[in-house]
């Protein structure tokens, strides 16, 4: 079974037209609106979306949550940002955090005008970069902040916030 990658995409500086576009989208229509040649084949998804498949959990004018297989759908992020800019949002900001379900990797991806910010961290780097691993090495329990264990997800949120601040300072 492929690892699921969850992405949470947020938006800033959208025009009313871009907000309306997002509000009127759903799982069945979003890819069709973005890609005139959309089809459900494996090759099409790999070539155009950047993942084996992509499903949407929630779509509205402030955020999208979605799940993909094996990798973050970076080409989808790019295409979506391009569409939002075309809808009279030249300063549109797209910011994405994503994580693999294991978690084998986590990352962030941000777009504004001609600026792209991408950072990814793999499991082997969690302890060095975050000061915590996903699982306790002795008990093999997930580090969820319970029973005195560190909170892995809190460390991820902190890392994501630092990356977002660096992204915002870059433009």
**Residue 105 domain boundaries:** 4-123
Least confident piece of the model among 46-50, 139-143, 154-158: 139-143
The average confidence (pLDDT) of the chain is 94
pLDDT of residue 1: 44
Q: Report how many domains make up the chain.
A: 1
pLDDT, tens digit, for every residue of 107-133? Answer: 999 999 989 999 999 999 999 999 999
Q: Is 23 helix (H, G, I), strand (E, B) or coil?
A: helix
Per-residue pLDDT for 82 more than 90? Answer: yes
pLDDT (average), residues 69-97: 97
User: Could you give the CA distance from residue 166 to residue 39 in angstroms, rounded to a whole number?
Assistant: 37
Q: Is residue 103 part of a domain?
A: yes
Per-residue pLDDT for 149 more than 50? Answer: yes
Q: What are the strands of the beta sheet with 63-69, ordered from one edge?
A: 54-59, 63-69, 4-12, 93-100, 105-112, 115-122
Q: Is residue 129 part of a domain?
A: no
Q: Is residue 27 part of a domain?
A: yes
In CATH, what number is assigned to the domain containing residue 30?
Answer: 3.30.70
Q: Is residue 110 part of a domain?
A: yes
> Residue for token digits 């900001």?
93
Q: Is residue 160 part of a domain?
A: no
Q: Is residue 32 part of a domain?
A: yes
* 163-169-170 Cα angle (round to 5): 90
């Amino acid at each position: 079974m492929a690892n699921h990658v969850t992405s949470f995409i947020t938006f800033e500086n959208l025009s009313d037209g871009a907000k309306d576009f997002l509000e009127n989208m759903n799982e069945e229509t979003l890819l069709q609106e973005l890609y005139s040649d959309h089809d459900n084949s494996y090759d099409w998804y790999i070539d155009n979306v950047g993942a084996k498949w992509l499903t949407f959990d929630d779509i509205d004018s402030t955020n999208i949550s979605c799940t993909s297989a094996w990798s973050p759908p970076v080409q989808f992020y790019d295409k979506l940002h391009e569409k939002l800019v075309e809808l009279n949002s030249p300063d549109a900001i797209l910011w994405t955090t994503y994580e693999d379900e294991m978690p084998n990797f986590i990352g962030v991806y941000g777009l504004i005008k001609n600026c792209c910010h991408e950072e990814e961290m793999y499991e082997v780097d969690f302890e060095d970069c975050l000061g915590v691993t996903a699982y306790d090495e002795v008990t093999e329990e997930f580090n969820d902040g319970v029973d005195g264990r560190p909170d892995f997800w809190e460390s991820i949120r902190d890392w994501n916030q630092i990356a977002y601040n660096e992204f915002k300072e870059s433009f």
